[in-house]
Structure 1
């Protein structure tokens, strides 16, 4: 007897609508702020939230592995074991959220999960506790239906995505790998098979400290120069880097990403006199000619590019401008990579990859014409791609991520959950071939 899985999935989700949303609301009530953004990290409720999730998953019948990535910040990997006919199918989501900012700017309590006009408000509602709930419901469906899977289904429920990805990196280091992963970050239900890479770079420039009373002798001829203002030298480098950014934006492109996505953002500039622990020691006295400057850059590159080549291009711009300045020739700037551990490999999953086409086919089953975009930020999909695991990003509709009145659309949570369930079923060879084909559309 042929089972119409689309009908069955629709019926099951309809039956579990209230449970699903109440689960999301309960998760929002945990103030799981990333501790790296808190004055008192011990007040983060990530551990309490992960304990709550663990209890849910164990009660449903999943096997749970939980461990601390760092102090009181645990990861969860929950598994439904399959027949091991293929490698694991992975669903990834993070529980850490950013701070709420000024509470006065919110119209709804960020820690309640109020619903108004079919939108569920709260910090982390869209980014990305809704995605975590959808992932959990995929597992619940399999268990409720008593389905025997050909491959393990793994839920990677992690911490620290918002501050560098230590959670997912720890999952991979622990050996939880697979044949494919869907990261359920919010994408407005569009399939995101690509994501640019990201590097953080630091440029250290050194000058010569002196008293500003003698500045005239540092900048005009006829005097013995005793001071070199490092800020002035650093501005030359800054201008060269920004010119490189414009060159990239005009000459590099990807069909799924916005023009100009290859940005080089100057995010940190510290200058002063003296150096202590990699920072200027004195930054509050303009009567001193500064001699130490640190500039930090957020560098984005295309999914098709290699990080080493990006590093070479960036360093070439720094060294080329330095070659035009006598002081910088003799005191070349130092370029450091992987600042604070930030290094996101690009995601470049082909649109015709089976993981992508399977997800697209199941959107069609539900009456959604699939469309494709590139993910303009970075997320944990990068670390799977860096391990050679095909990755895509796909999640619900919502808005105001990281801002006041963040929300997720309730109906979208249901639709994403249905699509993920059908995709997991097809990945495991359970759906019968119904000759569904999909038309590829990019936006």
Structure 2
């Protein structure tokens, strides 16, 4: 049987069993796995039992209390290439249930849509990875290499106990990786901006409000001046390295032609974005505030490092003659990407076209994800998964059923191209 014939056989098998795939996705959504609190016990037990039904062994790794990483490997582990399929079980909290038009944990299918928290991010993609793995096992496909399914519990709060924990402890390794994170139907994300989150604390001198602005200094007033300087990060002209310019240009094309409502956001691909996320300061209107804290989320494009940003900020804030302190919060990373011609990128992109008969190409992500961890370990990686992007992390999250099926077909076909 030729490689093309084998892929068609696997794709046909997914099509024939698509109701089973959709039921699997519904079952995953029906298990609340909100993070926080981050207890993955119930969903991990469900997945492990499902895989065992098809004689797929599951290794459990508890990285933190009630946070379980599940690792399963099929194929030839003695030789050949290693491919990793990765997904996370945790979802962001559903929030105010009265603002949902349906039960966020119903897993209901209605009018061609899968409904519920995690439908797009990323239980539909996770279901596809699991299902594709079982199809290969059910048909006894003799793989010339191995496929490892890595299911992690902690992506939505930074991922410290998920992917980076597995990599640090040498539990998973591979020549390529696919993460089933939400993406556009024909455009996997093969690169992402860096992340630079920090907290700025400005110190003042308390006193009676009736003596301000002579008395002080006023921590809030000085923070306002500092914020004005921080926001100027957006104005820095950054020279994008030649090797990533094609990725930037194709991503601009994507924003113009595919997600047309995003065309106005094209500049974020080459700029430092600045979001003043929280501000907290003062005790009372008639007291000069002693402290003010601001938390800031910056995303860094290719061409600038966090060290350069820190130097810029220090220089500008020092010039204000204020007392302040900057400390990093959450994760920090540099802009990173995988070459569009890397075998793992080609395996996914080529099979999107193989399955759909439509043009596909990889693009830049303006946020961050677990992909950066794989690249830190020199594992080429990209992200491709079913999603209705406007509903991610919001109310009434959903995804088209047809997309779930399409992605599962791509997943199972890509294994063949990558490993053979």
Please give the TM-score of this superposition, normalised by the length of structure 1: 0.83
Following superposition of structure 1 onto structure 2, how do residues 38-437 of structure 1 map, counting pairs within 5 Å? Answer: 41=37, 46-166=40-160, 167-175=162-170, 176-189=172-185, 190-215=187-212, 217-218=214-215, 227-247=216-236, 254-255=248-249, 256=251, 258-261=266-269, 262-272=272-282, 284-302=283-301, 304-305=302-303, 309-323=305-319, 325=320, 327-328=321-322, 331=323, 333-337=324-328, 339-340=329-330, 342-366=331-355, 367-399=357-389, 400-429=391-420
Counterpart-to-counterpart distance in 2, 1:360 and 1:316: 39
Q: Partner residue of 1:5?
A: 6
Q: Is contact 1:240–1:321 with CA below 8 Å preserved after alignment?
A: yes
1:54-101 Cα deviation digits (max 9, x unpaired): 111122122211122222121111111424334521111111111222
Q: Partner residue of 2:261?
A: none
Counterpart-to-counterpart distance in 2, 1:46 and 1:305: 38
Q: Is contact 1:10–1:418 with CA below 8 Å preserved after alignment?
A: yes
SS where residue 396 of structure 1 aligns? coil
Q: Partner residue of 1:441?
A: none
Find out whether 1:26 has 2:27 as its counterpart.
yes
Give the superposition deviation at 1:345: 4.5
Q: Partner residue of 1:223?
A: none
SS where residue 297 of structure 1 aligns? strand
SS where residue 48 of structure 1 aligns? helix
Give the superposition deviation at 1:346: 3.2
Counterpart-to-counterpart distance in 1, 2:312 and 2:2: 62
SS where residue 287 of structure 1 aligns? coil
Give the superposition deviation at 1:416: 0.7
In structure 1, runs of 5+ residues without a counterpart are 36-40, 219-226, 273-283, 430-443
Task: Kindly indicate whether structure 1 or structure 2 has the higher relative contact order, using CA contacts under 8 Å at least 6 residues apart.
Answer: 2
SS where residue 377 of structure 1 aligns? coil
Please give the TM-score of this superposition, normalised by the length of structure 2: 0.87
Q: Which has the greater radius of gyration?
A: 1
Q: Is contact 1:249–1:259 with CA below 8 Å preserved after alignment?
A: no
Q: Is contact 2:41–2:67 with CA below 8 Å preserved after alignment?
A: yes
Counterpart-to-counterpart distance in 1, 2:415 and 2:102: 35
Give the superposition deviation at 1:260: 2.0
Classify 1:99/1:85 alpha carbon distance in 2 versus 1 (closer, same or farther; 3 Å): same
Q: Once superposed, what is the RMSD of the aligned Cα atoms?
A: 2.2
Counterpart-to-counterpart distance in 1, 2:193 and 2:118: 23
Say how many residue pairs are matched.
393
1:138-183 Cα deviation digits (max 9, x unpaired): 2112111212223221111111211101211111122112111111
Larger mean CA deviation between 356-365 and 131-140 belongs to 356-365
SS where residue 199 of structure 2 aligns? strand
Q: Is contact 2:39–2:66 with CA below 8 Å preserved after alignment?
A: no
